[in-house]
Amino acid sequence: MDFLYTLFSLNILIGFCKIVTIIYIIENASDQIVAKERISLGMINYNSEVTKDFYESSFWKKNNKLLIFFYTYVLGANNKPDDANFRIERTVLHESSEKDLEIIKKDWDVIRNKIKMGQADELSERDTNILGAATKGAPGATRSQPFSDIPAKTRAYSLKKGYVTSLVR
């Protein structure tokens, strides 16, 4: 009965969220639990995102609620991921706090403003605090940007690894 209830509850949560993501967690050298990587949240469309405000953006519509599964990351004897021994440690239905949302909005504005200034080719993860513009796609992959003839690397919105670590702690 518990298993069926869990499946039913999970199905409701998945229908309620736009994004369901799996994040691996590991213990660092100080025996603290940390996220193994950032959360990728969808490609940045340089042409359409500049015409919208934050709450109309593809980022917000897709990512205002995230269902996150935190798994332990286990390496097997062959030094490859041992999927059979991964364990769900925590599940979070994440909605950003007001404080975090203000930072995320500012980060989104930084990304959008660089695109508006024809500088999508200069986007960097260092530009922002929580929401990043991570490179994504094949090595060297580029796409056009609306206010410059310089092609820009393909990028995706992401929640930075440090922020993801704060969610699991």
Tens digits of residue pLDDT in 46-77: 999 999 999 999 999 999 988 888 888 888 88
Q: What pLDDT does 126 receive? A: 94
Tens digits of residue pLDDT in 94-139: 999 999 999 999 999 999 999 999 999 999 999 999 999 999 989 9
Q: What pLDDT does 155 receive? A: 96
Residue 87 pLDDT grade (very low, low, confident, very high; cuts 50, 70, 90): confident
Residue 31 pLDDT grade (very low, low, confident, very high; cuts 50, 70, 90): confident
Contact 151, 144 (CB under 8 A): yes
Q: Specify the CATH architecture of the domain 2-168.
A: 3-Layer(aba) Sandwich (3.40)
In Å, the largest CA–CA distance within the chain is: 60
What pairing do the DSSP bridges indicate for beta strands 155-159 and 148-153? unpaired
Q: CA angle, 88 as apex, 86 and 89 as ends, to 5°?
A: 115
Cite the beta strand spans of the chain per DSSP E: 19-27, 33-35, 39-43, 66-72, 88-94, 131-135, 142-145, 148-153, 155-159
Single-letter code of the amino acid located at 116: K
Which residue in the block uniquely carries the two structure tokens 């409701």? Answer: 12
